[in-house]
Structure formats: structure tokens, C-alpha cells
A and B are shown apart, each in its own frame.
Chain A
Amino acid sequence: MTKPLLSVQNLTIDIPVGGGTLHAVRGIDFTLDRGEVLCIVGESGSGKSLTSLALMGLLGKRISCTADQMDFDGTALLEASPRKMRSLRGARMSMIFQEPMTSLNPAYTIGDQLMEAMLLHENVPRSKARARAIDLLEKVGITAAASRLGQYPHQLSGGLRQRVMIAMALMCGPELIIADEPTTALDVTIQAQILRLLVDLVREMNMAMILITHDLGVVARVADKVAVMYAGQLVETGPARDVFSQPLHPYTRGLLHCIPQPGKTARGEPLGTIPGIVPSLVGEVEGCVFRTRCEHAVPACHAAIPRRERGDHAFRCVHEDGHAPDDTRAKEATDA
């Protein structure tokens, strides 16, 4: 068995805020192999974006980030020098952000910004970088690619800009792509196109991808692995088909109830909701963070929660099967 491309153990991110510490990410573990797509799912504020920024080494100076292990192809990312991190960023691991409208520098042309990463990391002449940029713009489905190079970001629509961002991330042929809600800011009609494009390119180039999203529909279509994040913890991780067919954590089940599933959701029946709000993570947080919204909550939820594994499929819950023993409805859902 080869070593995974990326392995993260006990990643913790703390942010100092007025009057305490915000424990934004609290000890998460996951691994990723070459060619795999991992989807991290969760509500806004659950720590998904911080996790991705931590991997890229782009957290602000005030934010403290620790982990037992955070290795990218044998490089310990947390110990790496700033110079070493720079040589990885944009070259072997790159990132696509949520906001295509503001993620491009308004002062430079598309061409300059596309070529920058390649000129920074590889000793190539401008002409070669230019050819690569044109090639990639065509790959992401932009017509008249050569003439686009001289345009400025404000002359492009949001969808086009996100295509440019994707091309930019691919310039140096990275092994890992982190896409942080790459389609959220776009029109619904364009979302599917962009996502399909991104996934096709990742498969074609045999890259690993971490796709951060709150859209379970997207996850079902593209993920190899799923990690469900809630309030700074991974409450459930596993192969996509297992998580979808047999959600074990009450939160995952709640999420799946919120979207219509062909064949499972009855016509005319209202979709599920998860009552309550995400708790504050400032100060010490003990026990299960989902207990305030969980219908299976028992007093033991205030204590430490064990991690339960079923092969690759893991979750964190006091209940052995992820629901209170006497709850038949949930049992049915689990067994189905």
C-alpha cells in the first residue's frame, strides 16, 4: 500500500477573538490518494474553508494552527519553511476560490495573471507560458482564447472568470487542487457546467481534489470520499456510496433529509429540516457539538465522544449505531 498524497491528523485551528478563543477546527483527520475526489460537506461556519486555507498555508498570522500530522507527499506542511511552502503553492497544490468576481487582480490582464504562476515556478520563456495559458483557456471552454489574454477581469462575466481561475490553478499541472465552493457565487445554470468541467479535468489529469461544498447533490455526483463537517469536527467520513446509502451520524441523516432523493422522498411530503442553530465555538467545548439539535441526545452526549469505525466508514456518536436504541424510525432509515 502506497502512502497517501495527503494525510491530516488532528488538525486544530484556533482564532483569537474578543474575549476568548474560537476553536474553529477541532481535531480533524482525513487522507487523500492521488486521483481521488474528497468532498467536505457542512454548513457555513463549520470550518471547511479554514481547513483548506490551512492546507495551503494561507491562514492569517493571528490564527494558530496545529496538527499531529499534515503531510503532502512526504512534506510536513506545518513545519515547512515559507520558501518551501511558496514552492508548493501554485505549483504542486493549487486552490480555486469561491468568489470569481473579486479573486482576480483588477490591475492586470488575464494573460499576466495566468502566466504568473508558471513563470514563478518553472524556468520557462514567456512564449511557452503564453502557449500553455492559451491551451488551458481552450480546455476550460473559453473561445478566442488568445485574444482573452489581453483583457482585464472586469471585461469578463462571473462564469468566464471562474473558468479563468480554474485554468490558472491548472497552469503548473498540480497534483492537488482545493476548490472552495467554486460554484456558489455563480448563476445556477452555470454552476453545473463549471463543476462538470472541473471534475472532468481533474479525472483527465489524474489529480487529487478536495471539493468544499454545502451542496449534497454535487457531492453525490462527484465524490469518491465524503467528510461531513459540523462545528469544527468531522462527524462522519467514508466512501461516498457508503455515506449516502448508510448515513450513520444523526447530522448526516438530517442533511440527507433536507434534499429530495429520487425514490426515497415521497411526493408531497415536506423536506426535512434540522431545528436549532450552530453553537458558538468560543471557549471550551466538550462532548458532542450536535447535541443541542439532535433528536437522539442523551446526558452522555456531554462527555467525550468515541470514534466508531466500520471499515473506511467512521463517525463520532455516543450511540453505537448513530441513534438512540429505541428509535425505530432512525433504525429503519439506517438499515434501509
Chain B
Amino acid sequence: MLQFILKRLGLAILVAITVSFISFSLLFLSGDPAAALAGETASGEDIEALRRLYGFDRPMLVQYFDWLASALRGDFGESYYFKLPVAGLIFDRLEVTMLLGVCGISFALLVAVPLGVAAAMRPNSIIDRLALFMSVAGQALPSFWFGLILIVVFAIKLGWLPPSGTTSWQNFVMPTIVLGYYAMPAIMRLTRAGMLEVLNSDYIRTARAKGASEVRVMFKHALRNAIIPVVSLAAVQMGFMLGGSIVVESIFALHGAGYLAWESIARNDLPTVQALILIFSMFYIVFTFLADVLNAWLDPRMRSS
């Protein structure tokens, strides 16, 4: 088990380094970052001055290692737009995004897992068809449009919830739904497939032969085994979700890291964008690593080997 974790950790670190290099390279995608920074009206001298100021005249690899070394110390440079340290800017906004991510995945799990279990208990029943339809429809539903519909219905027509902002818990209700529904189809399908497979297994028959009640068979014997892959899927989805929060945060004007990313991209604030891509990637890498570890720990076959 320890060997497995160390191997995964090594891989995660390697992926993280590669991702950091890619997000740094984005800066050079436009050709000349200094010219892009200075804007179209700048003179050659201005561009030259900027180039020296930000050190763009050095070789790219040198700049990368310089940036990486600073990033490891928590210094992501200074925002072009705010003229403030990027790290502080992002740190202030992360709380909202993390909260949204946790709410979103919890919501997704709370709906999708029971639905998947119910669907597996009665294959081809009405509830199974409903669950399947919801998962197909859910995958096709554009989140930005879904968010706007929720605003029209619940904020404008019914007036139950505030349409945007970050002030109270009510601001998080609709964003949670919009962010969470996206992860539901995959979680529901995996729960259903896992439960179906487990319910057909011999040890479920053994449990029934012991006189265990249906509830006990479902939740103690079946779900315990079927949930193992779902846990790691949920962790992976959580990583995806944080990256996808940009759309949701922009619709509901929720001032989190995703909203900052949207603003910074529109403002050509590359240091902030670079740092955000790196941080969102790190979340994904950490979550998948944790999922692997959790998976190994939940499965006795892996835990003891």
C-alpha cells in the first residue's frame, strides 16, 4: 500500500511540473508577451522597457524556472491589472470557489447516489428510466443556459432567491445546483452499474441466505462495495468542477476564483491567468491523488497488500 501511494505521489508531482510548464508557456503563445502587455498603441521603446521590466528578454527556460521557484514560495508575481500580488488576490477569492465546489459535489452525490441505487434495485422500472433520462438530458444541458433559466424562474418570476452576489447562503443555492448537476449523470451511472454488478454477485446471495433484510443487503453488503469507485469518481469530478466554476461564477456574479479568472482573461492579465490555471490544475491533481489513496484504503484487498 505504501509503495502504491509513493508511486502515485511521484506521478502526481511529475504531472504537476508538466502542467506548470504548460501554463507558463501560455504567456508566449501570443509571440511577444511584452507587446501584448503594452497594447496596440505602445511605441517600440515602451515595449522594450516593459520587456526589460518583466525580464522577457531572458531565455524562456530561465524565466520558467525563475517563475516556478517563486511560485513554490507562494509568489506568483504581480497582477498587470490590479498591480497587486497575484497570490493574495487569488487566495481571497478561493474561499468562495471551494465552498461552491464542496456544496456542488455534495449536492451531486446526495441526488445521484440514491437515484443510482434506486435505479439498480428495480432495473427497467419507471424510476430507472427516469434516472437514465435525467442523466442523458443532464449531459446535454448547457450549464450557462440552465443557470439563466433558474434565475428567470426563481429570482425574477418567483423572487425566492437573489439572482447574483456573494452575501448570504441564499446566493449559493442556484450556483450549487448548476455546478452539481453536471457531475450527476456520471455518478448516477457509475452507482447504478456498480450496484447492478454487485447485486448479481454470489456474496449478496450469501447475505440473503443468512436472513439479512433487503435494506441491510442493499446498504451494508452491496453499497459498501459499489461505492468504492464512486468515491474516486467524485474526487475527480470535484477537480473538474472547480475548473468549471468559471461559467457558474460568471452567471451568478459570484466573486470567487472562477470569476477572477474570467475577468483576468478579458483584461489580458496573464500572471493571474497563469497562476489560476496552475492552481486549478493542482486541485485536480491533489483530488485525484487523494481519490487513489482513499480507494486503496476503502478496498481491503488493496489495503492489506
B162 to chain A, nearest CB (A): 45
Q: Is the CB of B224 within 8 A of A94?
A: no
Q: Mark A143-161, 1 if CB is under 8 A from B, else 0.
A: 0000000001011000000
Which B residues are CB-close (under 8 A) to A121?
211
Which B residues are CB-close (under 8 A) to A95?
209
Q: Say yes or no: is A120 at the interface (Cβ < 8 Å to chain B).
A: yes
A186 to chain B, nearest CB (A): 15
A103-B211 contact, Cβ under 8 Å, with A152-B304, A154-B300, A154-B301: no
In the complex, the chain A residue whose C-beta lies closest to that of B223 is A107
A102-B202 contact, Cβ under 8 Å, with A86-B213, A154-B300, A154-B301: yes
Q: Is the CB of A106 within 8 A of B301?
A: yes
Q: Is the CB of A105 within 8 A of B225?
A: yes
Q: Say yes or no: is A195 at the interface (Cβ < 8 Å to chain B).
A: no
Q: Is the CB of B212 within 8 A of A116?
A: yes
Which A residues are CB-close (under 8 A) to B221?
105
Which A residues are CB-close (under 8 A) to B301?
106, 152, 154
Tell me the count of chain B residues lying within 8 A, CB to CB, of chain A.
21
Which residue of the partner chain, among A99, A107, A120, A154, contacts B224 with CB atoms under 8 Å? Answer: A107
Q: Is the CB of B211 within 8 A of A87?
A: yes
Give the one of B202, B211, B213 with max A CB within 10 A.
Answer: B211
Q: Is the CB of B208 within 8 A of A103?
A: no
Q: Is the CB of B205 within 8 A of A104?
A: no
Which A residues are CB-close (under 8 A) to B205?
58, 97, 103
Q: Say yes or no: is B82 at the interface (Cβ < 8 Å to chain A).
A: no
Which A residues are CB-close (under 8 A) to B300?
106-107, 152, 154
Tally A-B pairs: CB < 8 A. 73
Q: Say yes or no: is B28 at the interface (Cβ < 8 Å to chain A).
A: no
Q: Say yes or no: is A8 at the interface (Cβ < 8 Å to chain B).
A: no
A121 to chain B, nearest CB (A): 6
Q: Is the CB of A88 within 8 A of B210?
A: no
Q: Say yes or no: is A56 at the interface (Cβ < 8 Å to chain B).
A: yes
Q: Mark B292-305, 1 if CB is under 8 A from A, else 0.
A: 00000001110010
Q: Say yes or no: is B207 at the interface (Cβ < 8 Å to chain A).
A: yes
Which B residues are CB-close (under 8 A) to A113?
206
Q: Is the CB of A91 within 8 A of B202?
A: no
Which A residues are CB-close (under 8 A) to B304?
152, 154-155
In the complex, the chain B residue whose C-beta lies closest to that of A95 is B209
Q: Say yes or no: is A39 at the interface (Cβ < 8 Å to chain B).
A: no
Which A residues are CB-close (under 8 A) to B299?
106-107
Interface residues of B in 50-102 (CB under 8 A from A): none
Interface residues of B in 221-245 (CB under 8 A from A): 221, 224-225
Which residue of the partner chain, among A56, A88, A89, A105, contacts B203 with CB atoms under 8 Å? Answer: A105
Give Cα distance in the complex from A97 to B204, angstroms. 12
Q: Say yes or no: is B170 at the interface (Cβ < 8 Å to chain A).
A: no
Q: Is the CB of A94 within 8 A of B202?
A: no
A136 to chain B, nearest CB (A): 14
Q: Say yes or no: is B18 at the interface (Cβ < 8 Å to chain A).
A: no
Q: Say yes or no: is B25 at the interface (Cβ < 8 Å to chain A).
A: no
B122 to chain A, nearest CB (A): 9
Give Cα distance in the complex from A89 to B216, angstroms. 14
In the complex, the chain B residue whose C-beta lies closest to that of A120 is B211
B221 to chain A, nearest CB (A): 6
Which residue of the partner chain, among A56, A102, A108, contacts B209 with CB atoms under 8 Å? Answer: A56
Which A residues are CB-close (under 8 A) to B213?
86
In the complex, the chain A residue whose C-beta lies closest to that of B303 is A152
Which A residues are CB-close (under 8 A) to B210?
89-90, 94, 116-117, 120, 168
Give Cα distance in the complex from A107 to B225, angstroms. 6
B196 to chain A, nearest CB (A): 13
Give the one of B210, B221, B224 with max A CB within 10 A.
Answer: B210
Give Cα distance in the complex from A155 to B304, angstroms. 9
Q: Is the CB of B211 within 8 A of A91?
A: yes
Which B residues are CB-close (under 8 A) to A116?
207, 210, 212
Which A residues are CB-close (under 8 A) to B212?
86, 90, 116, 120
A229 to chain B, nearest CB (A): 21
Q: Is the CB of A102 within 8 A of B203?
A: yes
Give Cα distance in the complex from A105 to B203, angstroms. 5
Give Cα distance in the complex from A35 to B54, angstroms. 92
Q: Is the CB of B207 within 8 A of A89?
A: no
Give Cα distance in the complex from A106 to B216, angstroms. 16
Which B residues are CB-close (under 8 A) to A90?
209-212
Given A97-B202, A106-B299, A152-B304, 10 extra CB contacts under 8 A:
A58-B208, A87-B211, A89-B209, A97-B209, A103-B206, A107-B300, A113-B206, A120-B212, A152-B300, A154-B301
The list of the 3 closest CB pairs from A to B, nearest first, reads: A90-B211, A90-B210, A89-B211
